[in-house]
Structures are given as structure tokens and as C-alpha cells.
């Protein structure tokens, strides 16, 4: 088990087996297929387990979710129980939880309907092994799960399988696909139809899904650039600021070479990645060709580990034509002391003739994010309003911020605003 491992109560953390699992008798949070694997994992699990067990003894409760049934189907209360318990565990441990440990609190094995956590009576959904019920009645009552079951099963398959990087080898093919199209690229499915993915039936779906997440950000930008290009003048040099950037956008720099292959008018593409989570990298300069060697385009990638409102005041900052905030979460910290967007967003609207692209995980989040963005200006026009993004990632991720087990997709919904 490493920091990057993900937690599923339906899998042994040592071997990933799904059958004959028994819960740890001390923390009541992690499940093993055998005593032998529990002993193997004890060195890693020991400190966490002892801290949780001490909390149970101190609080005189059977498990950390003994009182979860009292949340009365309130997402606010259910979120509060999980995050508060995780925080108490961190205080007891004297350190931050690693992702695997935090997910024990975010995705616990409790009844999907009533949140009862009696491990002796809970029965699993045999198809996805991500949801459980305290009774047949509650399983029948949960009519929402049928639509999510296959996606949760896919989440588990992707998250618990060995990390296969084969999909990275298809990037060069995607970069050259512009020669195969006579019109604009319209969606991810159309793109993958042109790709030669592996022929193994069990592997092709996985490769496409993983690849879709890799290319979702540049293709989302490209899609809206192509539509903007029809109505607005795209200059010879295009400067794009990606705000709130993280490893998702910066991880594989090569993916951004997709964009100049498809834009006819641009001869220099300058992308600036800005955000407190930007992994420090050297600025890169490269050249690519759209038609053999006829149309040479310079591509420059620049990285700044800082907040945008600090960057825009720094020496040597650039003025963009496009600002993008992928999976922006503008609503997430609204009204709290941790909200850095309230200082950043006014900077967007001080720049003339600017296009702003924001994406969100869910439709409800997209609406909230759009409303927050528009609240900073009355001189902006909405060109695309919380639309279903044709280049969202196809990889589902578990959504803990929900009263029922659900999934979200990176860049799922998008809005585009033009600042006059």
C-alpha cells in the first residue's frame, strides 16, 4: 500500500481480492481477505488503526460511524460526520492522512440508504462491490443505484488495477490525426474512432478511458477555440492562461501540442500555467508542423507556482486572449477564509476582449461556478452556458460529496464568457 493507493472496502488492500473479506476488529474501517494479509499490512496500518481505536474507546462507541444513521439523509450532516472524523484522526495521529486513509472516511461501508454501519448485517451490491445495504427493503428502495452501478464498478476496476501506461503511446497518433479530418473535431468518440487502440477486448476500453483523461484539457480548449475562431479574430500569436493549474494540466506537457495542429491562423502558441499547485518545471519551447513542414508553429509552455492575482502583478507577466480554469470549483470555498478566487476573478475582467472558459464536474456545480464568475462583471456575454462538454474525460471518479454513491467526470460541463 502506497500514498497513491485508493481505498475500496470491497477489496483487500494487499491482494485486491473481493471475496471472503473481514473487517479489522480494531478500527472497523479496513477489510482483509485473510489474517495473513492483515499481518502483512499491519506495519503500514498500525499507527492509523491504533489512533482510531483509541478514539472509539474514548468516545465509547462501536465504530466511528455508529451515529451516522442520525444524519437523516442530509448531505451537509453526512459530509460533516466524515470530514470531522477524518480531522480528529489527523489530530490523534499527529500528521495528515494519506489519500488511502482519508478515503476510509469518505467512502465507508455503511447502508446506502440509512447509513447504518453494522458490518454483520450489511449486504453488498454483488455487481459493483461499492455499495451495501442493511436490508433487502433498502436495496429495493434505492432506485438510483441502477444507473450508477456500472460506473462505480468501472471506477473500482480503474483504480485498483495495476497502473498501465500503454495509453501514453497513443499520444503521437492523436497528434497526427488532424490530417485525417476535413472539418472541425466535434467530440471524443469521433477522435478515438480514428485511433488504432489495442485489439484485446478487455484492454481497449481501459486504454480509451485513460487516454481521454490525458487529452481532455487541451481538446476542451481546442473545441472552444475553434468555435471562437469563427466569430472572433484569433491573432497570429495566441496567449492562453490556465489558472488554478495542477498536475492534471501540467503532468504531460506534450499533450498541448494537439492545439496548434488544428488551428490554421496561429503561428505561435504561448500557454502559461499558473496556480499554487503547479509542479515546478522549466519553461519549454518547441516547434511543430500542421501540414508536413509547410506551417511551422512555435509552442511555448511557461509555469508559475503562485496565485493568479499575484502573477498578474509580477514583472514579465503576459496579457492573454484566453483564460481557462479547468474544474475550477469557484463555489467550493465561497464565503470562507480559504477562498482565493475572490481576489483572482476581478483580475479577469480588467483585461479587454478576453474569453474565459471554465469547466466543472457536475451540472449543479457548473451553474454555481458560472453565477459566481458572472457576479464580478455586468459587461460580459455568456457564449456557452453550462453545456455538456463533448471533450470531457470518460473516466469516472467517485464523488464523496453526495448523500448517495455517485461519480463525476473531469471537465464534464463548460461555460464560455466573452469580456468586451
Q: Mapping DSSP to helix (H, G, I), strand (E, B) and coil, where does residue 293 land?
A: coil
Predicted local distance difference test score (pLDDT) of residue 3: 43
Q: Mapping DSSP to helix (H, G, I), strand (E, B) and coil, where does residue 384 land?
A: strand
What's the sign of the alpha-carbon dihedral 161, 163, 166, 171? positive
Q: Mapping DSSP to helix (H, G, I), strand (E, B) and coil, where does residue 239 land?
A: strand
Q: Mapping DSSP to helix (H, G, I), strand (E, B) and coil, where does residue 300 land?
A: strand
pLDDT along the chain (420 residues), means of 10: 73 91 96 96 96 96 93 86 96 95 96 94 95 96 93 90 68 69 77 72 76 93 85 77 93 84 79 90 64 67 95 93 96 89 94 92 96 92 96 95 88 95
Pairing of strands 354-360, 322-325: parallel
Predicted local distance difference test score (pLDDT) of residue 336: 87
Residue entry with cell 461519480: 407
Q: Which three cell numbers stand for residue 182?
A: 476535413
* CATH architecture group of domain 214-419: 3-Layer(aba) Sandwich (3.40)
Beta strands in 249-395 (DSSP E): 268-274, 284-289, 296-304, 322-325, 354-360, 380-388
- Round to whole Å and give the CA distance between 100 and 48: 11
- Round to whole Å and give the CA distance between 389 and 223: 9
Residue 129 backbone class (left: φ over 0; alpha: ψ -120 to 50; beta: rest) = left
Residues 117-120: contacts with CB within 8 Å, 24+ apart?
117/28, 117/63, 117/65, 117/66, 117/68, 117/69, 119/23, 119/28, 119/63
Q: Which residues contact 278 (CB under 8 A, 6 or more apart)?
A: 245, 246, 250, 303, 304, 305
Domain ranges of the chain: 22-155, 214-419
DSSP letter at 96 equals P
Q: Which three cell numbers stand for residue 325?
A: 480554469
Predicted local distance difference test score (pLDDT) of residue 219: 93
Amino acid at each position: 500500500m502506497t500514498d497513491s493507493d485508493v481505498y475500496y472496502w470491497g477489496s483487500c488492500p494487499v491482494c485486491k481480492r473481493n471475496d471472503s473479506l473481514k473487517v479489522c476488529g480494531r478500527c472497523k474501517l479496513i477489510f482483509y481477505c485473510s489474517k495473513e494479509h492483515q499481518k502483512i499490512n499491519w506495519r503500514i496500518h498500525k499507527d492509523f488503526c491504533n489512533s482510531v481505536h483509541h478514539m472509539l474507546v474514548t468516545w465509547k462507541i462501536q465504530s466511528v460511524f455508529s451515529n451516522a444513521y442520525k444524519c437523516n439523509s442530509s448531505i451537509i450532516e453526512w459530509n460533516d460526520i466524515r470530514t470531522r472524523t477524518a480531522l480528529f484522526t489527523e489530530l490523534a495521529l499527529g500528521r495528515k492522512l494519506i489519500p488511502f486513509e482519508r478515503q476510509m472516511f469518505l467512502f465507508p461501508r455503511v447502508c446506502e440508504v440509512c447509513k447504518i454501519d453494522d458490518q454483520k448485517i450489511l449486504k453488498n451490491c454483488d455487481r459493483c462491490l461499492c455499495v451495501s445495504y442493511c436490508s433487502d427493503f433498502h436495496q429495493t428502495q434505492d432506485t438510483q443505484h441502477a444507473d450508477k452501478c456500472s460506473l462505480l464498478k468501472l471506477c473500482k476496476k480503474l483504480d485498483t488495477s495495476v497502473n498501465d501506461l500503454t495509453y501514453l503511446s497513443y499520444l503521437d497518433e492523436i497528434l497526427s490525426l488532424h490530417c485525417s479530418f476535413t472539418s472541425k473535431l466535434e467530440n471524443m468518440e469521433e477522435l478515438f474512432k480514428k485511433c488504432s487502440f489495442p485489439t484485446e477486448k478487455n484492454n481497449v476500453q481501459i486504454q480509451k478511458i485513460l487516454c481521454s483523461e490525458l487529452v481532455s484539457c487541451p481538446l476542451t480548449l481546442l473545441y472552444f477555440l475553434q468555435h471562437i475562431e469563427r466569430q472572433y479574430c484569433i491573432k497570429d500569436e495566441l496567449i492562453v492562461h490556465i489558472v488554478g493549474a495542477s498536475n492534471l494540466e501540467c503532468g504531460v506537457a506534450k499533450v498541448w501540442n494537439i492545439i496548434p495542429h488544428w488551428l490554421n491562423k496561429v503561428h505561435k502558441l504561448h500557454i502559461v500555467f499558473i496556480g499554487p499547485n503547479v509542479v515546478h518545471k522549466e519553461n519549454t519551447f518547441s516547434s511543430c508542423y500542421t501540414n508536413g513542414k509547410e506551417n511551422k508553429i512555435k509552442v511555448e509552455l511557461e509555469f508559475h507556482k503562485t496565485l493568479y492575482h499575484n502573477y498578474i502583478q509580477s514583472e514579465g507577466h503576459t496579457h492573454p486572449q484566453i483564460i481557462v480554469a479547468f474544474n475550477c470549483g469557484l463555489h467550493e470555498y465561497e464565503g470562507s477564509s480559504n477562498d482565493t478566487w475572490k481576489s483572482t476573478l476581478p483580475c479577469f475582467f480588467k483585461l479587454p476582449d478576453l474569453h474565459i472558459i471554465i469547466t466543472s464536474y457536475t451540472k449543479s456545480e457548473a451553474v454555481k461556478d458560472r453565477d459566481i464568475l458572472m457576479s464580478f462583471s455586468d459587461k460580459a456575454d455568456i457564449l456557452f452556458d453550462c453545456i455538456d462538454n463533448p471533450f470531457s474525460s470518460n473516466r469516472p471518479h467517485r464523488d464523496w460529496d453526495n448523500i448517495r454513491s455517485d461519480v463525476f467526470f473531469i471537465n464534464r460541463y463548460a461555460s464560455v464568457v466573452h469580456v468586451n
